[in-house]
Amino acid sequence: MNINVTKPFLPPLAEYHTYLQGVWEREWLTNNGPLVNELEVALKERLDLDHLLFVSNGTIAIQLALKALNITGEVITTPFSYVATSSAVCWEGCVPVMADISPLDFNIDPEKIEAKITPHTSAILATHVYGNPCDVDAIEAIAAKHGLRVIYDAAHAFGTRYKNRSLFSYGDVATSSFHATKLFHTIEGGAVIARDPAVLKRMAEMRNFGHISPTAFQEVGINGKNSEVHAAMGLCNLKYLDDILRVRKSLSERYDRNLAGLPIQRPVSRQGTDFNHAYYAVAVEDEALLLKIIDGLQLHNIFPRRYFFPSLSTLPYVSTESCPVAEDLSRRVMCLPLYHTLSEEEVDMICRLIKRYIRY
C-alpha cells in the first residue's frame, strides 16, 4: 500500500449521501443553490469572517481578485509558490515581478518587495507558504506607503490564525483553495474573502458571468460558480475540522521528535501564529541528498513531494531577475506525507528511513 504525500479526508459516506438525497429531491445542482449558501454562512461563522464567496477553485479565486481590484501592470509576487499563483497573474494580462523569499519562513521577503516597486506596480500577491503566515504587518505597511493593493494566496491557510484572527482576514482580498489535497476540501473548490463588501459584491457578479439579473449584465464575468455536490462535501467535512487539525498537529509533532537533531531545516512561524499544520516541509543540505532520500523512500512505496519545485523565477514565460534564496530552497525542499489517516507507526517508519539515508 502506498503512502502518498497526502490523502483526501473523506467523511462517512452516509452523511454525504444525506446531503445528496436533498440535492436529488430539489433537482437544483448549481447556480447558487441552498447548500452553496449554507456553506458560505458556515465558513464565515467558523472562521469569524464578514465576507466570503465559494468559487470553483483557487486559481479562479486569484483571477477574480485581480479583476475586482482593477489590477494592471506589474504585480510583485513570490517565486516560491505553486505555479497557479504566477500563472493567474499572467493570465490576467499583468506582469509578475518576483521578489525573493526569507530563508527563515520561506515566504516573500518584505525588504525584497520594496526594492521591486516601480511606477508600474499596482499590487502585491503574496503566498502564505504551507499555511505559514507572511509578514502581513510589514507587507501591508509597504502597500499603504506606496498605494498598492494586497492579495494573499492563502490556498494552504485554512484554519491558521495570526494575532487571534483568521489568516483569511488580512489583505484587500485573500484567496483559498478547497482542492481535495487540502486539509479542508470540497473536492474541487476555493474561496475569495474581501475586506470591502463592494469588492466582494463585484466578485459575486463576476463569478456568474457578470449577471446582475437574469437578463442584465454589469460587466465582463466568468463562470466561477461551484455546485451543490461540492458544497455538500464541504458541509460534511467542516464538522470534522477540529479533529482534522488535532490529528495533523499530533503527527507533525511526532515528526518533530523523530527528526530532532538531524541537519534538516523547517520553516519558522512568527510569534502570534496558531498554525494549521497543512504540510510538513523539510529542507536538507543539497539537492543530491534530497534526491537520495526521495529515491530511498519510493523504494518503500512512500511518496513525498518536491513542493515547490521549480522556483517560479525560472519559468520560461516569466521575465525576472534571479531569486537565489528561492531557487536554492526549491532544489532541496520536500513535503513529507501528512494526512488524517496516516498512522504514528508510518510516521516513525518514514523517519527511520530518512535517518538512514542522511547518515550513510
Q: What is the CATH number of the domain that holds 331?
A: 3.90.1150.10
Closest CA to 313 of 71, 96, 131, 92: 96
Task: Give the ranges where the chain is alpha helix by DSSP (H).
Answer: 13-26, 34-47, 58-68, 83-91, 110-116, 136-146, 197-206, 228-238, 241-259, 287-299, 324-332, 344-359
- Tell me whether residue 306 is in a domain: yes
Q: Report, as ranges of residue numbers, the positions in the chain whose pLDDT lies below 50.
A: none
Residue 285 confidence (pLDDT)? 96
- β-strand pairing of 52-55 with 190-194: antiparallel
Tell me how far apart the alpha carbons of residues 110 and 149 are, in angstroms, rounded to a whole number: 14
- Tell me whether residue 128 is in a domain: yes
- Tell me whether residue 353 is in a domain: yes
Do 272 and 154 fall into the same domain? no
Residue range of the domain that includes 142? 13-238
DSSP string, 196-251: SHHHHHHHHHHTBTTEEETTEESS---B----HHHHHHHHHHHTTHHHHHHHHHHH
Do 124 and 216 fall into the same domain? yes
Do 55 and 32 fall into the same domain? yes
Do 103 and 184 fall into the same domain? yes
In one-letter notation, the amino acid at residue 162 is Y
Do 212 and 146 fall into the same domain? yes
Residue 313 confidence (pLDDT)? 96
Residue 360 confidence (pLDDT)? 64
Count of domains in the chain? 2
Contact (CB, 8 A) for 327 and 96: no
Residue 79 confidence (pLDDT)? 97
Do 223 and 288 fall into the same domain? no
- Tell me whether residue 249 is in a domain: yes
